[in-house]
C-alpha cells in the first residue's frame, strides 16, 4: 500500500513533527501548533488538515490508534506516528534545511510586471510598502526584543521568527534603496520606462533580440543539479 511519494507539504510535515511528541487527534495537532505560534511560519487550514492526515495515513506514515469520544463531542480519531513516518519526517526536514528551494515570492512577481504602471505612481506605491514594512518590522522586533530580554524562552526556540525578521529587514532596506534610486534618477532606464508610457513604445535599441541575449546572460544554464 501507499504511493510513498515524498511529503513536501509543510502542513503534513508539521503533523508528523507534532505526532512525534505522542498520539493525538487532528484538531489537537492544530491547536498545539497554533498555541506554539507555528501557524506564523506554516499555513494551517482546517480544510486541508484532515485531507493531509488521511493522505499520510494512506501512505503509512501515521496510523489511527482508534476513536475516542469525550462527552458527546464529535468522534475523534487519534493518530500515531509510524516508524516510516518518523523516517520520512527526518528525511524531508534534512532536505528542506540543506537544499535551498526555488520559490516565487509575490513581490518579485509584481516587480517583474510593474512596467505596466507609470514610474511615478510606482514610487508612491513603493513608499507605501516601505511604510507598512517599517511598521511590521518595528512591531516584530520590539516583541522579540522584549522577549529575549525577559528570558521567557531561549532564542533557539524562536529561531524561525529571527529568520523572518532578518528577511523582512532585508526587504525593507532593499525597497528603501530602490525608492532612492528611482527618486534621484540614479537608476538607469527609467527614462525609457517613462518614454514607453508616454509614446507607447520602447526605443528601438531594446528590441526583442536584445531581450533574448539578456535572458541567456542572466538566466542561461542556471538550472544546474548541483550535488
DSSP state of 99: S
Residues 20, 86: contact at Cβ < 8 Å?
Answer: yes
SS3 state at 64: strand
Q: Is 41 in the site for a copy of itself (CB under 8 A)?
A: yes
Only one of the segments 39-47, 84-92, 121-129, 139-147 lies at the binding site for DNA (rule: CB under 7 A); that segment is: 39-47
Check: CB of residue 98 under 8 Å from CB of residue 43: no
Query: Interacting stretch for DNA, rule CB under 7 A, among 44-52, 124-132, 156-164, 208-216?
Result: 44-52
Segment interacting with DNA, rule: CB under 7 A, options 50-58, 91-99, 147-155, 170-178:
50-58
Asked if residue 1 binds a copy of itself (CB under 8 A), the reply is: no
Record the cell numbers describing residue 106, joined without a space: 509575490
- What is residue 49's three-state secondary structure? helix
Considering only 47, 69, 189, 199, the residue that binds a copy of itself (CB under 8 A) is 189
Cα-based distances in Å from 71 to 32, 74, 76, 147: 21, 9, 11, 39
How far is the C-alpha of 25 from the C-alpha of 44, rounded, in Å? 15
Q: Is the dihedral of CA 212, 101, 177, 196 positive or negative?
A: positive
Which residue spans within the chain are E strands per DSSP?
A: 62-68, 76-81
Question: Residues 2, 68, 138, 170: which binds a copy of itself (CB under 8 A)?
Answer: 170
Residue 222 interacts with a copy of itself (CB under 8 A)?
Answer: yes
* Nearest-approach distance from CB 1 to a copy of itself, in angstroms: 25
When asked if residue 152 is in the footprint of a copy of itself (CB under 8 A), the reply is: yes
Alpha-carbon distance of 49 to 45, in angstroms, equals 6
Residue 48, interface with DNA (CB under 7 A)?
A: yes
Stretch that binds DNA, among 47-55, 89-97, 151-159, 178-186 (CB under 7 A): 47-55
What residues between 62 and 101 interact with a copy of itself by CB under 8 A? 89-90, 93-94, 96-101
Residues 51-110 that bind DNA (CB under 7 A): 51-52, 55, 70-77
How many residues bind a copy of itself, per CB under 8 A? 97
From candidates 2, 110, 138, 195, binder to a copy of itself by CB under 8 A:
110
Is residue 5 at the binding interface for DNA, with CB under 7 A as the rule? yes
- Tell me how many degrees the CA angle 172-174-175 measures, rounded to the nearest 5: 65
Amino acid at each position: 500500500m501507499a504511493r510513498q511519494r515524498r511529503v513536501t507539504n509543510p502542513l503534513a510535515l508539521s503533523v508528523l513533527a507534532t505526532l512525534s511528541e505522542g498520539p493525538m487527534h487532528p484538531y489537537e495537532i492544530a491547536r498545539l501548533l497554533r498555541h506554539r505560534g507555528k501557524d506564523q511560519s506554516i499555513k494551517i487550514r482546517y480544510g486541508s488538515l484532515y485531507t493531509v492526515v488521511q493522505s499520510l495515513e494512506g501512505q503509512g506514515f501515521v496510523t489511527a490508534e482508534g476513536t475516542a469520544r469525550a462527552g458527546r463531542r464529535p468522534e475523534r480519531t487519534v493518530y500515531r506516528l509510524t516508524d516510516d513516518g518518523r523516517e520520512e519526517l527526518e528525511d524531508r526536514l534534512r532536505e528542506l534545511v540543506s537544499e535551498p528551494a526555488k520559490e516565487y515570492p509575490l513581490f518579485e512577481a509584481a516587480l517583474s510586471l510593474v512596467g505596466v504602471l507609470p514610474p511615478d505612481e510606482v514610487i508612491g506605491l513603493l513608499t507605501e510598502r516601505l511604510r507598512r514594512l517599517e511598521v511590521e518590522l518595528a512591531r516584530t522586533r520590539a516583541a522579540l526584543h522584549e522577549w529575549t530580554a525577559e528570558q521567557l524562552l531561549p532564542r533557539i526556540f524562536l529561531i524561525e521568527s529571527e529568520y523572518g525578521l532578518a528577511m523582512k529587514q532585508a526587504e525593507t532596506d532593499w525597497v528603501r534603496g530602490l525608492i532612492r534610486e528611482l527618486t534621484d534618477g540614479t537608476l538607469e532606464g527609467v527614462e525609457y520606462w517613462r518614454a514607453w508610457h508616454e509614446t507607447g513604445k520602447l526605443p528601438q535599441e531594446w528590441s526583442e533580440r536584445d531581450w533574448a541575449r539578456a535572458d541567456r546572460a542572466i538566466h542561461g544554464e542556471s538550472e544546474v543539479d548541483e550535488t
